[in-house]
Chain A
Amino acid sequence: MSVKYAMLGILAEKDLHGYELKSSFDEKVGEFWSLNYGQIYSTLDRLEKEDLVTHDRQVQDKRPDRKIYSITKKGRKELDEWLAAPINRVRALRDEFFIKLVFTGTDNPGPVLDLIEKQKALYLRQMNHLTHQKIALKKKAKDPAALTTELLMDAGLFHAEADIKWLTLCEAKIKATLVKK
């Protein structure tokens, strides 16, 4: 769903061809969200069908023509509406780890506790990495777009922190059940 709006958001700044669109997407949110060219082009096709985006053909020497995409008036209106509306639902608990927890079961807690510990260490490692990337970004960049990237990195850190806290609680509750038995 949001891929659509991310594309519209990028095209609202500047007309771009597919390759540039992907680079811009990667630069803005690539740290959290990876898209392949297939997803980019299929989204663009869909946006064209909905009249939210249009394209011009650019003729190139010795190479196939390329399509330069731009946002339509209708597209800009839809983007503005989307930007102004708060999000209705909280993050889905469709985390892969959650599914693992359901199927590992807590009757024999050894493997679950092992898994929780490994998962926590992994999240912590990622937070460590992300924090140092953020520090590096803060040092070099003074352009306004860097703030958005920094805020996204902060969101990533807060989410990972919540996951670690939740896992720590899982650990404590599973251990407490063991003691009772």
Chain B
Amino acid sequence: MIELKHASKKYQQGGREVHALRDVSLNIRKGEFLSVMGPSGSGKSTLLNLIGGLDQPTSGEIFIDGRPLHGISDDELTLIRRRRVGFIFQFFNLLPILSAVENVSLPILLEGTPFSEIRPKAVALLEQMGLGERVEHRPEQLSGGEMQRVAICRALISNPAVLLADEPTGNLDSHTSEEIFLLLKSLNEQGQTIVMVTHDPKAAAYGTRIITLKDGALSEDISIGGK
């Protein structure tokens, strides 16, 4: 479903060339919950940015559902990013002046669809995540776990082919983290493909497959038996 072929990424940092990703070939199957482990600087965020169309490889190829993400225009990339990919982040990245339901609707509002059309689906998602009572609340009125659940709804609103998570519980306590992971796990069991980068082994262990990056290259690939 997502395929990387010899993907490499280099960039300049303070006059120095950084090789963030070295010749990574990887096939992420539909329905997989892939955890990407590695210390800071190992290239895991770069990998996530390439898969999410936030960045392009210096060399190599990336396909999502057979469509290339490399060598296309920024506009095309933006469209794929908006429609095929959902993101969740460590600090949730919700807009503080919008309510939960408005935050969830935002990706589709940006496409020009009226709010009245999106609202029912956004509310349904929030209810599904146990946030039925929080629809009109603003982020500051929500707990950390609730904010991340709102962010998950926002990521799911466009039915993305893949959900990308960057240290999604880095800012939450152990119990709340577990609730978020169980939620991601149940989405995965309903067929949602998930790619999560983390340096936390407890988080990574929720994956059906765990890869480890070391100095920008793939070093371990662990897959749980069955699924």
Seen from chain A, the residues whose Cβ lies within 8 Å of a Cβ on chain B are: 117, 121, 123-125, 127-132, 135, 138, 157-158, 160-161, 164-165, 168
Contacts and interface: CB of A to CB of B under 8 A. Distances in A.
Contacts of B222: 121, 124-125, 128
A123 B222 CA distance: 11
Interface stretch (B51-59, B88-96, B142-150, B204-212): B204-212
B206 A131 contact: yes
Interface residues of B, number: 17
Q: Which 5 A-B pairs have the closest CB atoms?
A: A131-B205, A127-B205, A128-B205, A164-B201, A161-B201
A117 B214 CA distance: 11
B186 to A, nearest CB: 9
Interface in B33-69: 37, 39
Most chain A CB within a 10 A radius of its CB, from B182, B185, B202, B207: B202
Given A128-B210, A158-B202, A121 B220 contact: yes
Q: Which of B201, B219, B220 has the most CB of A within 10 A?
A: B201
Interface of B: 37, 39, 182, 185, 200-202, 204-207, 210, 212, 219-220, 222, 224
Given A121-B222, A157-B205, 4 more contacts: A128-B205, A138-B182, A164-B201, A165-B201
B224 A135 contact: no
Given A128-B222, A129-B224, A131-B206, A160 B201 contact: yes
B207 A128 contact: yes
Main secondary structure, interface of A, reads: helix
21 contacts: A117-B219, A121-B212, A123-B201, A124-B204, A124-B210, A125-B222, A127-B202, A128-B204, A128-B207, A128-B210, A128-B224, A130-B205, A131-B205, A131-B206, A132-B224, A135-B185, A138-B182, A157-B202, A157-B205, A161-B200, A164-B201
Contact of A127 (B201, B219, B220): B201
A104 B94 CA distance: 50
Contacts of B204: 124, 127-128
A129 B207 CA distance: 10
A25 B83 CA distance: 52
Contacts of A124: 37, 201, 204-205, 210, 212, 220, 222
B195 to A, nearest CB: 16
A142 B182 CA distance: 16
A165 B205 CA distance: 14
A138 to B, nearest CB: 7
Nearest to B223: A128
Contacts of B182: 135, 138
A6 to B, nearest CB: 26
Contacts of A123: 201
B23 to A, nearest CB: 20
B204 to A, nearest CB: 7
A155 to B, nearest CB: 12
A123 B219 CA distance: 15
A42 B205 CA distance: 38
A22 B39 CA distance: 43
A173 to B, nearest CB: 13
Nearest to A123: B201
Contacts of B224: 128-129, 132
Nearest to B219: A117
B214 to A, nearest CB: 9
Contact of B39 (A132, A157, A160, A168): A168
Contacts of B37: 124
